Structure 1
Amino acid sequence: MSKLFAQQGAEVHILELNLASAEAAARELTAAGLTAYAHALDVSRQADVLEVINRIAEKKKIDILVNNAGIAHIGKAHTTAESDFDRVINVNIKGVYNCIYAAIPHFIAGGGGVILNTASIAATVGIPDRFAYSTTKGAIYTMTLSVARDYLEEKIRCNSISPARVHTPFVDGYLANTYPGREEEMFEKLSKTQPIGRMAKPEEVAALAVYLCSDEAGFITGADYLIDGGFVHLNN
């Protein structure tokens, strides 16, 4: 997402718990002649979110907020420990709220803006062993609707995207840790849970994100866009 937004002319600020990772991404973009900055941030800490976003807004008008920070958890309701539930809630729900809370005053002052939240097919489809994660993504879906409704007059659009499985390093790490020696077999199995027969590419998700944040999508607000290879509507 950062790469594609930057390629489209955006000044990108990457807010990341792992500063080294953010700095590596920013260096890659600046080496390509693009504009990107890295900031260390735990999105679950509101005071820190306010400090970082306010500091960015002091230097340049903020036009777009993409809420893409999130963590996963495997477990059913009775196997999810309270500490794990709280951890997922604090990042996946409170983190999104904190960023929206910090950004909206700047959008209002600037005459409008766009918020894009990353939900999931888990918001609307029962996914096995994803109790806490699904709970948070359902919250993101309805949070999107609430924000879109509340800020129509302020010209703030808010939408969400709901991916199925996306092939990222997280997937590779999950397979290596959970199915050592069976990574290739399980990758194929997970890929085929999407009717289209494969996982999404990060670039495909990024393309949808950039579109929804663009002026060309100016008539779209309060919407959730599936990018799921047919998972929701074509699985029987």
Structure 2
Amino acid sequence: MTKTIISGTTQFKYEELEEERKSFGLTVFPSGQVVFKTPKKAPTAERQAFLLKKYPWVQRQQQFFKQFRPKSQCFTSGSDVLYLGRRYQLIVNTGKEEKISFAGSTLIIGGEKNVQALLIAFMKARAERVFAERLQVCLKLFPDYVGEKFSLKIRQMKKRWGSYLKGGTIALNIDLIKAPKRCIDYVILHELCHHRHKAHNKDFFALLEQKCPHYKALKIELERKVLG
């Protein structure tokens, strides 16, 4: 449920989610959206007091993410294409057969009329292959998962890089193909930790730090390289 808190000059909107939990949780997404998770029985006064106390932090997070506003992809010759952390110059060969390939620091596409469709299909195919490879690499850090089955789904997501679904399925944002492999690994490791700990509690973060000691730096790098 979308709500607005107002106190003096303080005013911001947030999504409130009531859950079976013992403490409050607050998340600011790269889009600037604020999600507030609260115990179902928490009094309204306690909820508002928590939000007002956290408001300066919310502002800092929103300002931080404003640095990395997403840039729309251009599909004309000379524009940039981001792939696995590197920028490539897009070269469109008008009138050539429909194909796409890397050549040094360029990405060459034939068939000007279908440039957008070709590039999207190419990136999706690359994402399927690369994400599957990285999942296998990351699973080696979880020997206790041996024998369990995990699968991947690739989605367009606005609010998150990945999500752990039921039955060992991990959904990954297709835009992750723009990030370096170490950042892709961080997201996959994050979701694999949810196989053991569903909530973002201290046990979850202890496991994440064990499997990915530099996860905080990788999260910042991911935001900067893909959203910047």
Q: TM-score, normalised by structure 2?
A: 0.27
Which structure has the highest strand share of the two? Answer: 2
Query: Higher helix proportion, which one?
Result: 1
